[in-house]
Structure 1
Amino acid sequence: MKNTLFMIAVCCTLALVSCRKESFTKFPDYDKNWLAMEDNPNDPTIHANFLFYKENGIPVFVNDTIGSQQRVDVFGKTYTHYEVLSLSYSLGGIQSGPPPEVQSFTYCDPADVPNALTFLRNEIMPVIKGNIHVPSILLVENMNTNAFGSYAYKGFNTVVIAQISKIPTMDETTRADYKGAILRSMLTNTVLDNKYAAILDKFYTVSRSFVSGRDAYGLNTYFFNSQTIVGLPPGTPLTFQAIGFLGEDIRIPSTTPISTWLDVSMYLEAALVNTDAQFKQKYAEYPSILLKYGYIRQILNDMGIK
């Protein structure tokens, strides 16, 4: 009798285990790495981008929708998930004022991709390779942003590079501006890293030291008077440049950059567009700008960016 009961218990246990195995659901790979490029030798554009990815570890796309996947929602209904590159990004944390954004863009002609890849190989990769992580690159034709012009923009998981059809015909000045904008978009996150917090505090303090009773950032020119702007040599015109800003906030006219990260971005791009000698000559009359430039140059030198 005991043996019989034992066998019944064993059978019940095996039956329960068997049921559990049959009811186990294996979930699809919803967390796949969408930025890991796959080759398609039959598509010249994808194949060329894949070769660049293999060389440099940076995936390059010509469409912001980079994949799709069949999924099942909580109600058991099947749907198609489309993975889209995120062009929105909050540099430096919480935003004050209008956040930077891509307002519009158009897809590029695949025929222009080879020239863009050659430019990246020759002009950009030698500067950043081994120093900077770039999650991905999105090549487009036209782009409008509210903060960073029409050349390059740093999104959450991609760097958007525009106007690629114009690369072969760019003159030397335009090419330098273009390269500077791309490098700025790729380097800003690293420059703003906590590693350089002490240097950046000195950078911010330069302009803040000239403003009394208010913050130098987000300061409207209405307050550019002798009560608010202090410490300048007598007779110095009260300008953005006099207190160490390269210019006004692109999004809010007649206002200093409303965020410290935008001030850093403007300096970073100017430092990358100009040679050291060119920058110092251009702003020779503004000691505060040269002082802040020195801090940015110090960070770039530490990063190995010459």
Structure 2
Amino acid sequence: MYKINGYILALLLVLLLAGCKKEAVLQPSNKDENNLVVKDNPADPVDHAIYQFFQATGVPIFYNDTIARQQVGDSAGIPRYSFQKLSIAYSITGYRTRGITFKLLPRKEVLLPLLPLLKGGFLSRAPLNIPIYSLLIVERMQVGGSLNNGISTIMNKPYAFLNTLMLPIINPDTMTVASRRSYIAEVLTAFAYQKLLPGYSKQIDDSFHSITKKSYDGELIYIQPLSSLSPDGSKQLEDFGFIETGYSSTLILQEYTPLPQDDLLSYLYSVFFYDTVADFESRYANHPLVLQKFKVIRDIVKQMGFRFAN
């Protein structure tokens, strides 16, 4: 019995050694290499413009989610590669985000008009103390619903992942001033929303969501029909502190209250969209709860380091 086992072990050892001769030993990759660094390509106008953007801002822009390729070995003369991708499938909370679909740009040249807007609009207002790891520009995108940090389905709107902020492509040269301002507000909203969680969650619950919860004697106020909050029809959703969203695909002020997360997103968008506080206040002058919630969120994002003209 022991002799047979010895023969078997010897045979396995010979086979193992023979297999090792057929395939080259894997070489360790350079673990210290930072793939979120843009390298210049003077021969390519787009790549060179992206490099200049990176040199000026420190923020890398990508038009492909695969950002690096390293040869890690050789099998029978055929190279073996390891591909480094941006972390699209993971959120800041650590769980895997589902329902993500996106399409890469048909031509990378289409992102050139967007670079000045991102530099002068988004980066000029983002906090200096919060790193922006990378921007991924795509043709179109969709992020699924309830599994996506609890917010509604996002379609062709910016969304922040673990190490990148995905942005749908636009051409600012063909847009109105208001449309360009809306796009930048969406980018800032996505970035701020990610950075608010989980560090500011308690502060938001205590000083923001509580305003709406105290406006109603019932137990539940979010995701409820307006008819149950105001059976006689005398109140609007704004009377409970809800406003239209400019970001996610929630029910617009009609019959139901939004999710708490979408409530927050609607105010983040408004904080970044309106040029001045007075512009917002003039629209909702008759809704004091809305004005209170707007001030709370504006104060929080200013505390985070987001910059405003006034």
Separation (CA, whole Å) in 2 of partners of 1:252 and 1:274: 22
Deviation at 1:186, TM superposition (A): 2.2
Distance change in 2, residues 1:80/1:257 (3 Å) = farther
Residue 203 of structure 1 and its aligned partner are, at CA, apart by 0.2
Classify 1:28/1:86 alpha carbon distance in 2 versus 1 (closer, same or farther; 3 Å): closer
Q: Which amino acid aligns with 2:177?
A: E
Match of 2:48 in 1: 47
State the shift of 1:158 in Å: 1.0
Query: 2:280, 2:89 → 1: CA distance?
Result: 31
Deviation digits for residues 108-162 of structure 1 (CA, Å, limit 9, x no counterpart): 5322333111112222222126243211001223334453442422122111222
Whether the aligned pair in 2 keeps the contact of 1:142 and 1:150 (CA below 8 Å) is: yes
**Root-mean-square deviation (CA), in Å?**
3.4
The whole-number CA distance in structure 1 between the counterparts of 2:155 and 2:292 is 26
Maintained 8 Å contact 2:27/2:72: no
Distance in 2 between the 1:196 and 1:304 partners? Answer: 18
2:28 and 2:72 in contact (8 A); partners too: no
Report SS of the residue matched to 2:48. helix
For 1:284 and 1:100, the matched residues in 2 are separated by 40
Match of 1:242 in 2: 239
Q: CA deviation at 1:105?
A: 2.9
| Structure 2: gaps (5+ residues) | 1-24, 145-152
- Would you say 1:155 and 2:145 are equivalent positions? no
Q: Which residue of 1 aligns with 2:278?
A: 277
Contact 2:136-2:165 at 8 Å conserved across structures = yes
CA distance in 2, matches of 1:101, 1:26: 36
Aligned residue type for 1:264? L
Q: Secondary structure at the match of 2:130?
A: coil
Q: Percent same amino acid at aligned positions?
A: 25
Separation in structure 2 between the aligned mates of residue 251 and residue 56 of structure 1, nearest angstrom: 34
Pairwise mapping of residues 154-303 of structure 1 onto structure 2 (< 5 A)? 154-164=160-170, 166-192=171-197, 194=199, 197-212=202-217, 214-217=219-222, 219-221=223-225, 224-225=227-228, 229=229, 236-237=234-235, 239-247=236-244, 250=249, 255-258=256-259, 260-275=260-275, 276-302=277-303, 303=305
SS at match of 1:68: strand
Q: Report the alpha carbon displacement of residue 252 of structure 1 after superposing the two structures with TM.
A: 6.8
Q: Give 1:163 shift.
A: 2.6
Amino acid at match of 1:266: S
Q: What code does the residue aligned with 2:271 have? A: A
C-alpha separation between the residues in 1 aligned to 2:26 and 2:119? 46
- CA–CA distance in structure 1, aligned partners of residues 216 and 73 of structure 2: 57
SS at match of 1:127: coil
> Which ranges in structure 1 are unaligned for 5 or more consecutive residues?
1-23
Maintained 8 Å contact 2:69/2:83: yes
| TM-superposed deviation, 1:267 | 0.9
Match for 2:299: what amino acid?
Answer: Q
Matching residue's letter, 1:160: M
**Which structure is larger by alpha-carbon Rg, 1 or 2?**
1
Amino acid at match of 2:243: L
Change (3 A) 1:195 1:143: closer
Residue 72 of structure 1 and its aligned partner are, at CA, apart by 5.9
Secondary structure at the aligned position of 2:188 is classed as helix
Distance 2:33 2:272 in 1: 36
Using the TM superposition, give the Cα deviation of residue 268 of structure 1 relative to its aligned residue in structure 2, in angstroms: 0.6
Query: 1:180 deviation in Å?
Result: 0.6
Measure the CA separation in 2 of the matches of 1:93 and 1:215. 29
TM-score normalised by the chain length of structure 2: 0.72
Instruction: State the partner residue of 2:105.
Output: 107
Q: Is the 8 A contact 2:118 2:184 kept in 1?
A: no
